[in-house]
Amino acid sequence: MINGIPLLGEKFPSLEVQTTHGRMKLPENYKGSWFVFFSHPADFTPVCTTEFVAFQKRFEEFNKLGCKLIGLSIDQVFSHIKWVEWIKENLDIEIRFPIIADDTGEVSKKLGLIHPGKGTNTVRGVFIVDPEGVIRAILYYPQELGRNMDEILRIVKGLQVSDVNDVAIPANWPENELVRDRVIIPPASDEKAAKERLERAKTGEIECYDWWFCHKLLG
């Protein structure tokens, strides 16, 4: 961990938190599941409201991936509860994931989420954590820019596909400009493997631009 910010590949810090769904321990409560931990600057703010609606709209898609959602801001739990009620009453959207009340700021400090020059407000941070409690991706957005939840969903899908199939995921997958919805085969590590890879390409088992750039369909 550098300057209070966890690094990719590290374990998510052990935390005991108060949420709108009661007290929880992280990452213990989500052991065996993926989870997306995200912070927002403040309750009852326009951009954050659009983000919570967007996350909830994709709640079932995350759920199908075995991925939980949990939010955080430096607000007290009663503020979270009233904000969630406001969203339900005025926008007809029921927020079904828990929100951490980090009114002391201790959790945010541990995760490097305090926005420089913005008082005690938190950045729009995102930590994507795997079933072993390992941080697999980190995203940070400034207060003025709302997040793209489809990209966060894509990251979870891509990491799961990579883990299961031992492949890499191309840019903009599954709509990549070169290989479409195909996935990248890791480059060969020696001359023999490189030649074998080109032979496999001749059979149509895989496709290659060259020995170091080969791709295939999933399944």
Domains in the chain: boundaries: 15-147, 166-219
For the chain, the 3-state helix, strand and coil shares in percent, each to the nearest 5, are 30, 25, 40
User: Which residue's structure tokens are 């079932």?
Assistant: 60
User: Which residue's structure tokens are 């990248």?
Assistant: 184
Per-residue pLDDT reduced to its tens digit, 70-125: 999 989 999 999 999 999 999 999 999 999 999 988 899 889 888 666 666 788 99
Q: Collect all residues with Cβ–Cβ distance below 8 Å to 153 and sequence separation of at least 6.
A: 58, 61, 62, 65
What's domain 166-219's superfamily in CATH? Antioxidant, Horf6; Chain A, domain2 (3.30.1020.10)
Helix (H) or strand (E) holding 203: helix 191-203
Spell out the CATH class of 15-147: alpha beta
Phi first, then psi: give them for residue 142, nearest 5 degrees: -75, 165
Q: Which two tokens stand for residue 34?
A: 């993926």
48 is catalytic: yes
Per-residue pLDDT reduced to its tens digit, 121-180: 788 999 999 999 999 999 999 888 999 999 999 999 999 999 999 999 999 999 999 999
pTM for the model: 0.92
User: Which residue's structure tokens are 């409201």?
Assistant: 49
Give the strand order in the sheet containing 207-210: 183-185, 213-216, 207-210
**Of 128, 98, 99, 123, which is closest to residue 112 (Cα–Cα)?**
123
Distance, first Cα to last Cα, the chain: 37
User: Which residue's structure tokens are 């941080």?
Assistant: 135
Per-residue pLDDT reduced to its tens digit, 191-215: 998 888 888 889 988 999 999 999 9
The span from the CA of 184 to the CA of 212, in Å, is: 10
